[in-house]
Amino acid sequence: MTLIDLLLLLLVAGVCGSIGRAIGGYSHGGCLVSIALGFIGALLGMWLARYAHLPEPLPVLVGGTTFPVVWSIIGSAVFVAVIGLISRRRV
């Protein structure tokens, strides 16, 4: 994997994390948080997809590495929603 491949993978993860944060409705942090959410969402989303025996609808191939875009967005939205429920202030 070259430096360009790594930067493209970080860009795709950042976009997926940003979309997941927008869907989840709880947004604290910036670009690095979106990238981390994209990778966490990919792990969580692929785990959920394998558990439910679902296919990977839109994989992106970057430098020989497959990144699951749809499952990353779904996983990051679920992760953000759970974090939002846990850390919301009660009034």
Confidence bin at 38 (pLDDT 50/70/90):
confident
pLDDT at 28 over 80: no
Please give the pLDDT value at position 13: 87
Residues in contact with 81: Cβ distance below 8 Å, sequence separation at least 6, in sequence order: 24, 25, 26
Could you list the residue range(s) of the whole structural domain that residue 57 is in? Answer: 3-87
Q: Are strands 65-68 and 59-62 parallel, antiparallel or unpaired?
A: antiparallel
pLDDT tens across 60-77, in order?
A: 888 888 888 898 889 898
Task: Give the DSSP per-residue string, 69-87.
Answer: HHHHHHHHHHHHHHHHHHH
pLDDT at 43 over 80: yes
3-state secondary structure of 17: helix
- In total, how many domains does the chain have? 1
